[in-house]
Amino acid sequence: MSEERDWATHREAKANKLSAMSSMIDGKFAKTSDAKAILEGLIAPGDKVVLEGDNQKQATFLSKTLASVDPAKVHDLHMIMSSISRPEHLDIFEDGIASKMDFSFAGPQSTRVSQMIADGTLKVGDIHTYLELYARLYIDLIPNVVLVAADKVDRDGNLYTGYNTEETPVIVESAAFHDGIVIVQANEVVDKLPRVDIPADWVDVIIPADEPYQLEPLFTRDPQNITELQILMAMMAIRGIYEKHNVQSVNHGVGFNTAAIELLLPTYGEQLGLKGKIVPNWEVNPTPTLIPAIESGWVQSIHSFGGEVGMEKYIAARPDVFFVGKDGTMRSNRAFGQMAGQYALDMFVGSTLQIDQYGNSSTVTNGRLSGFGGAPNMGSNPTGRRHSTPAWQSLRPDNDPLGKGQKLVVQMVETFGSNKRPVFVDSLDAVEVRKEAKLQNVPIMIYSEDTTHIVTEEGIAYLYKTSSMAERQAAIEAIAGVTPVGLRSDPAVVKDLRARGIVAFPEDLGVNRNQATRSLLAAQNMEDLVKWSKGLYNPPAKFRSWS
């Protein structure tokens, strides 16, 4: 017979912690002024703590409060964050409040992360994809405490997370159903919510914030900053990939290259007669540069990872396109969006900081540990996929009776980055970063084996058509320009690759270089986007250049 055992130790420990803080908590509500004491009482040294902060929405009040706790009471935390976005996210390591971090993305703080790893202040568990990080919350990174943000909360403790629901539900559920403590900062306490996004019985403590949570317009790109080189690349992509492969569903990474594609659909796409034939379905944040394509009837549906500042009224007025609730607001979902990107899309189009001679890419470079967020989910060929689409099937090998299709994974880069450094390199900086950060694997964003196309200002490399690594390298060299990789290109080899359709230059695709001018864009600036939206789009102040 087995010994008697207490099977509810986690639940009892949670109950004891909350009971000890009962004088500061009225039902589920605590005072703003007691936030620091609440965290000091409910977070224990060494706890696994999830702090909500994806690449747009930040639990700002709770992150600042965590950074203010007494390190003698709260220390050596194992932080789990999808995005390291704010200074205090790293201040807690310098103060000893935290010691280890598992994360996905650190764009705004990437340089500081690299420095802190080098001096031993920050220990990295792993750099994850978003889905990978969320999944581990239910397996081996089960949190003791989660700190999240809500737009509104009613007096029973139900949460409304609105346009920017994003990753809040997946974080909360991982704690709520395994005896973790759920602490919520709320912008506003109201009598009645527009809708309930997270029920009150998943929530333990609610603290009214002293200011609304931070929300960044991450996916807004001003059309006036799109260059003619990017327009040329967009024309090649539309002609040589979107049209060629009959792409129906797509995710665009954030960038001016993809913004150019979006703004060429109502113009160049119309010239090619592609309306109604390509990209009706999207998994993408509500990017303002998609407004002309939506208004022109190109887009049938958009599901979003998160919201975008200023797009609220426009989204509410277009429920046929966006996922909008009865209350008139969108409910984004970062976890489901990543899952859709991995399994349901024909194509992912993104960019990167470095591509090596073999076609591996990474945004982790010397002095900059930015991570990669969801790109590896979007930019992978999931072996679990079984449903077929014309685009997916177009990459199926002809000579294999058991062969299957493949997702189109497109890297769209200029041969030299904004820092004038070559994007194409013999060896990724990430190889050395792995040693410095003591990672088990080189932090590659998208592996060569998953990359099907690379687009540069020189042309397109159809990597999925190559039959050997040597041929793949030659195709990359052919479109790598005057980078060290591109300078190795052999004109005779390039001629053969073009003849066999493995490499295509603009003229091979019927793209007129002289047509690649800004006049081809459906909107020239932010004011044009507002006009396209019939006044519904309200750009953030920093993007307004007119009165």
What is d(CA 491, CA 456) in angstroms, rounded to the nearest whole number? 18
What is d(CA 494, CA 192) in angstroms, rounded to the nearest whole number? 66
Query: pLDDT of 184-236, one tens digit each?
Result: 999 999 999 999 999 999 999 999 999 999 888 888 999 999 999 999 999 99
Taking the CB of residue 199, how many other CB atoms lie within 10 A of it? 13
At 215 the pLDDT is 87
Taking the CB of residue 467, how many other CB atoms lie within 10 A of it? 9
Give the DSSP per-residue string, 179-226.
Answer: T-EEEEEEEEEESS-SS-SB-GGG--EEEE-SSPPEE--TT---GGG-
What is d(CA 69, CA 45) in angstroms, rounded to the nearest whole number? 12
At 1 the pLDDT is 64
At 543 the pLDDT is 87
Say which residues have a Cβ less than 8 Å from residue 496's Cβ, sequence separation at least 6. none
Mean pLDDT of 250-261: 95
At 403 the pLDDT is 87
- Report CA 154 to chain centroid distance, whole Å: 30
pLDDT beyond 70 at 439: yes
Taking the CB of residue 3, how many other CB atoms lie within 10 A of it? 4
| φ/ψ bin of 498: left (φ > 0), alpha (ψ from -120 to 50), beta (otherwise) | alpha
What is d(CA 442, CA 436) in angstroms, rounded to the nearest whole number? 11
Name the pTM for this structure. Answer: 0.95
What is d(CA 262, CA 531) in angstroms, rounded to the nearest whole number? 16
Query: pLDDT of 337-366, one tens digit each?
Result: 999 999 999 999 999 999 999 999 999 888
What b/e sequence results for 272-281 when a residue is b if at least 16 CB atoms lie within 10 Å of its CB, and e otherwise?
Answer: bebeeebbbb
What is d(CA 369, CA 443) in angstroms, rounded to the nearest whole number? 9
HSE (side-chain half, CA atoms, 13 Å) at 49: 28
Say which residues have a Cβ less than 8 Å from residue 254's Cβ, sequence separation at least 6. 218, 219, 221, 285, 287
547 pLDDT band (50/70/90 cuts)? Answer: very low
Mean pLDDT of 525-538: 98
Mean pLDDT of 265-274: 98
What is d(CA 160, CA 146) in angstroms, rounded to the nearest whole number? 17
Query: pLDDT of 376-408, one tens digit each?
Result: 999 999 999 999 999 999 999 888 888 899 999
Query: pLDDT of 482-517, one tens digit each?
Result: 999 999 999 999 999 999 999 999 999 999 999 999
Task: Please give the mean pLDDT across all residues of the chain.
Answer: 95
- Taken in order of first residue, the domains within the chain and their CATH numbers are 10-215 (3.40.1080.10), 223-396+403-520 (3.40.1080.10)
**What CA dihedral angle connects 368, 54, 10 and 98, to 10 degrees?**
30
